[in-house]
Amino acid sequence: MSSCLCHESPTFKKVMTEEAFDVVVVGSCMTDLVSQSPRLPKEGETIHGHNFFIGFGGKGANQCIQAARLGAKTAMVAKVGKDSFGDSYIQNFKDNGVYTGFVGQTSDAATGVASIIVNDAGENAIVIVAGANMLLSDTELQNALPAISSAKVLVCQLEISPQMSLRALRMAQENKVKTIFNPAPAIPDLDPDFYRVSDVFCCNESEAELLTALSVNTVEEARCAGRELLRRGCSTVIITLGAQGCVVLKAADSSCKHVPTTPVDAVDTTGAGDSFIGALAYDMAHHPTMQLEEVARRAGQVAGASVQVMGTQSSYPHKRHLAAELF
Ligand SMILES: Nc1ncnc2c1ncn2[C@@H]1O[C@H](COP(=O)(O)OP(=O)(O)O)[C@@H](O)[C@H]1O
Ligand SMILES: *[C@@H]1O[C@H](CO)[C@@H](O)[C@H](O)[C@H]1NC(C)=O
């Protein structure tokens, strides 16, 4: 219900009369419940683990937090449960300077969770219950319309109802707000309208493979998959390639460039793609006329910093920890 009251709240008025948001993310929040054990349990088995921690995740929230840590003025549009995980998540956004007036709480579902078991070899088994994320509805989107339509960049993924993501992207496009769409987790029967509403369509190798049915293991193969995605109607495509950086394709000048990144010693690549997208959003908002190849190069440097630290959001760098040339 808080989402219906936010128009009247003084905070909302204050926020909306001040400068518009740089980056608005419409997407997911997930609480990661991580147990580390020597091996993964078999069916029906109970085993002892040696460590447990709770982390903040969800692709939408991850991307929003990374953009905020780089200095973007951000707002999150999301739904969490009316439960302790939901309360903690909202506090996490506040701690990172993200505006939470469009984060609703529902008693009809629990906050999204990912129960993760990691064995000593680093292999994992994961159950995701999207919960409240799937209840983000048109009402919340309409409440956020003033923020979306005046933002510099809107970012969406596929961890909420895909139709909600599509509606948010259309809302942005109709208001000439730049859109970044990250088709993750990839679905094989993606609505073709997603391509037409994406100014930047950004995915990783496995997502590109699933969407194009082409194999994407090399830079050359990524170029081919990128061309296929462009052909479907996106303005630009970025396919991230882990330590190899990314490829950047632009419909306007039919260019297709490999943007390598600085090799680093990765200790945990979880959430690297989300760090990349959060940085992309920051750069597109702050440097609207910058060439996309340079934007992608900078995003690669930020994501490269994140893989050198354990954890997901906890590994995302702040502006003060990065080279000044990235800003
Ligand atoms: N080992 C690495 N060394 C340097 N940069 C990396 C490394 N792994 C990931 N990155 C950076 O993170 C970005 C996203 O990584 P990638 O693995 O493609 O995404 P995802 O997390 O979706 O699998 C890459 O484009 C790159 O800039
Ligand atoms: C791409 O991202 C998905 C999450 O959407 C992840 O499961 C997958 O492992 C990633 N693929 C690569 C090659 O990193």
DSSP string, 174-217: HTT-EEEE---S--TT--THHHHT-SEEEEEHHHHHHHH-S---
User: Partners of 105 in the beta sheet?
Assistant: 80
- Specify the residue with its C-alpha closest to ligand 1, atom 21: 273
| C-alpha 110, offset from chain centre | 21
Band of residue 321 on the pLDDT scale cut at 50, 70, 90 = very high
Give the chain's mean pLDDT: 94
CA distances for 136 relative to 29, 60, 97, 161, 294, angstroms: 11, 13, 22, 8, 34
Provide the pLDDT for residue 122: 83
**CB of 204 sitting under 6 A from ligand 2:** yes
- 272 C-alpha vs ligand 2 centroid, how far in Å? 10
**CB of 31 sitting under 6 A from ligand 1:** no
Please check the confidence at residue 9 and state whether its pLDDT lies above 90: no
* Gyration radius of the chain's alpha carbons: 19
pLDDT digits (tens, 9 = 90+) for 261-295: 999 999 999 999 999 999 999 999 999 999 999 99
pLDDT digits (tens, 9 = 90+) for 37-52: 999 999 999 999 999 9
Which atom of ligand 2 lies nearest, measured to the CA of 207?
1
Please check the confidence at residue 4 and state whether its pLDDT lies above 60: no
- 240 C-alpha vs ligand 2 centroid, how far in Å? 10
Largest CA distance in the chain: 58
Contact 261, 243 (CB under 8 A): yes
Q: Taking residues 151-161, what's their average pLDDT?
A: 98
**CB of 314 sitting under 6 A from ligand 2:** no
Q: Is 267 exposed, middle or buried (0-12, 13-18, 19+ CB in 10 A)?
A: exposed
pLDDT digits (tens, 9 = 90+) for 138-152: 999 999 999 999 999
- Specify the residue with its C-alpha closest to ligand 1, atom 15: 242
Q: Taking residues 151-174, what's their average pLDDT?
A: 98
Band of residue 5 on the pLDDT scale cut at 50, 70, 90 = very low
CA separation for the pair 126, 156 (Å, rounded): 23
Q: Could you tell me what percent of the chain has a pLDDT over 90?
A: 92
**CB of 273 sitting under 6 A from ligand 2:** yes
- 176 C-alpha vs ligand 1 centroid, how far in Å? 30
**CB of 107 sitting under 6 A from ligand 2:** no
Band of residue 1 on the pLDDT scale cut at 50, 70, 90 = very low
CA separation for the pair 202, 225 (Å, rounded): 12
- 62 C-alpha vs ligand 1 centroid, how far in Å? 15
- 280 C-alpha vs ligand 1 centroid, how far in Å? 13
Which atom of ligand 1 lies nearest, measured to the CA of 270?
21
Band of residue 19 on the pLDDT scale cut at 50, 70, 90 = confident
Provide the pLDDT for residue 11: 54
Please check the confidence at residue 21 and state whether its pLDDT lies above 80: yes
Closest ligand by atom to 243 CA: 1
Could you give the residue numbers annotated as active site?
Answer: 274
